[in-house]
Amino acid sequence: MTDNPTSIQTGLRSELWQLVRSQLQLLLEQGNLEGAKALLIPVKPVDIAEVIEGLPESMQVIAFRLLSKTEAIEVYEHLEAATQQALLQKFKHQEVLDVVDKMSPDDRARLFDELPAKIVRRLLAQLSPHERQATALLLGYEEATAGRIMTPEYISLKESLTVTQTLERIRSLANASEVIYYLYVTDNSRHLAGIVSLRDLVISSPDKTLGEIMTRDVICLHTDTDQEEVARTIQRYDLLAVPVVDREQRLVGIVTVDDVIDILQQEATEDIYALGGLQSDGDNYFQTNLVTVVRKRVVWLLVLLFTNTVTGSIIKSQESVIAKMAILTAFIPLLTGTGGNVGAQSSTVIIRGLNTDEIKDLGSAKVIFREGMAGILLGVILGFLAMLWAYFILKTNPFVAFSVGISLVAIAFLASVAGSSLPFLFRTFGLDPALMSAPFITTAVDVLGVLIYFTVARTILRL
The rounded distance, in Å, linking the Cα atoms of 450 and 407 is 9
Under DSSP, is residue 253 helix (H, G, I), strand (E, B) or coil? strand
106/175 same-domain check: no
Asked if residue 248 lies in contact with residue 200, where contact means CB atoms within 8 angstroms, the answer is: no
313/425 same-domain check: yes
Q: Which domain holds residue 433?
A: 287-461
The rounded distance, in Å, linking the Cα atoms of 246 and 259 is 20
> Helix 105-114 and helix 81-90: axis angle, to 10°?
80
Q: How many CA atoms lie within 13 A of 448 on its CB side?
A: 17
Give the chain's end-to-end CA distance (angstroms, integer). Answer: 59
299/167 same-domain check: no
- In this predicted model, what pLDDT tens digit does every residue of 261-299 receive, in sequence order? 888 887 777 777 776 667 666 566 776 778 877 887 887
- In this predicted model, what pLDDT tens digit does every residue of 10-39 receive, in sequence order? 556 677 778 888 888 898 888 888 888 889
Measured in whole angstroms, the distance separating CA 380 from the mean position of its chain's CA atoms is 36
The reply to whether 28 falls in a domain is: yes
Report DSSP letters for 304-357, one per residue. Answer: HHHHHHHHHHHHHHTHHHHHH-GGGGGGHHHHHHHHHHHHHHHHHHHHHHHHHT
306/439 same-domain check: yes
The reply to whether 436 falls in a domain is: yes
407/438 same-domain check: yes
Instruction: Please count the residues of the chain.
Output: 463
Confidence of residue 77 (pLDDT cuts 50, 70, 90): confident
Contacts of 149 (CB under 8 A, 6+ apart): 106, 109, 110, 227, 230, 255, 259, 263
156/173 same-domain check: yes
Pairing label, strands 241-245, 221-222: parallel
Neighbour-count burial of 30, counting CB atoms closer than 10 A to its CB (0-12 exposed, 13-18 middle, 19+ buried): exposed
Percentage with pLDDT > 70 across the chain: 93
61/39 same-domain check: yes
The rounded distance, in Å, linking the Cα atoms of 404 and 232 is 45
Asked if residue 316 lies in contact with residue 388, where contact means CB atoms within 8 angstroms, the answer is: no
The rounded distance, in Å, linking the Cα atoms of 39 and 173 is 34
The rounded distance, in Å, linking the Cα atoms of 116 and 152 is 24
The reply to whether 97 falls in a domain is: yes
The reply to whether 3 falls in a domain is: no
Backbone torsion region of residue 31, taken as left when φ is above 0, otherwise alpha when ψ lies between -120 and 50, otherwise beta: left
> Which residue intervals of 41-80 are DSSP H helices?
45-53, 57-65, 69-78
Average pLDDT, the chain: 85
The rounded distance, in Å, linking the Cα atoms of 67 and 78 is 14
Among residues 276, 296, 313, the one where a domain terminates is 276
More confident residue, 410 or 104: 410
Provide the pLDDT for residue 11. Answer: 57
Q: What's the rounded mean pLDDT across residues 88-108?
A: 78
Provide the pLDDT for residue 92. Answer: 66
441/311 same-domain check: yes
Asked if residue 210 lies in contact with residue 159, where contact means CB atoms within 8 angstroms, the answer is: yes
Contacts of 312 (CB under 8 A, 6+ apart): none
Provide the pLDDT for residue 1. Answer: 45
Among residues 145, 171, 189, the one where a domain terminates is 145
**CATH value at residue 333:** 1.10.357.20
Q: What's the rounded mean pLDDT across residues 52-78?
A: 86
More confident residue, 4 or 168: 168
Provide the pLDDT for residue 93. Answer: 65
- In this predicted model, what pLDDT tens digit does every residue of 416-452 receive, in sequence order? 999 999 999 988 888 888 766 777 787 888 889 999 9
The reply to whether 390 falls in a domain is: yes
- In this predicted model, what pLDDT tens digit does every residue of 189-231 receive, in sequence order? 899 999 999 999 999 999 999 999 999 999 999 999 999 889 8
Neighbour-count burial of 37, counting CB atoms closer than 10 A to its CB (0-12 exposed, 13-18 middle, 19+ buried): middle
Instruction: Return the closest-CA partner of residue 460 out of 399, 416, 415.
Output: 399
- In this predicted model, what pLDDT tens digit does every residue of 142-186 receive, in sequence order? 988 999 999 888 889 999 999 999 999 988 887 777 778 899 999
269/335 same-domain check: no
pLDDT at residue 42 greater than cutoff 50: yes
327/396 same-domain check: yes
- In this predicted model, what pLDDT tens digit does every residue of 451-463 receive, in sequence order? 999 999 999 988 7
Tell me the whole-structure pTM to 2 decimals.
Answer: 0.66
The rounded distance, in Å, linking the Cα atoms of 228 and 237 is 14
Provide the pLDDT for residue 65. Answer: 85
Domain count, the chain: 3
> Helix 105-114 and helix 117-126: axis angle, to 10°?
150
Asked if residue 220 lies in contact with residue 245, where contact means CB atoms within 8 angstroms, the answer is: yes
Provide the pLDDT for residue 284. Answer: 67
- In this predicted model, what pLDDT tens digit does every residue of 289-325 receive, in sequence order? 788 778 878 877 887 788 778 888 888 988 888 988 8
Neighbour-count burial of 147, counting CB atoms closer than 10 A to its CB (0-12 exposed, 13-18 middle, 19+ buried): buried
255/349 same-domain check: no
302/427 same-domain check: yes
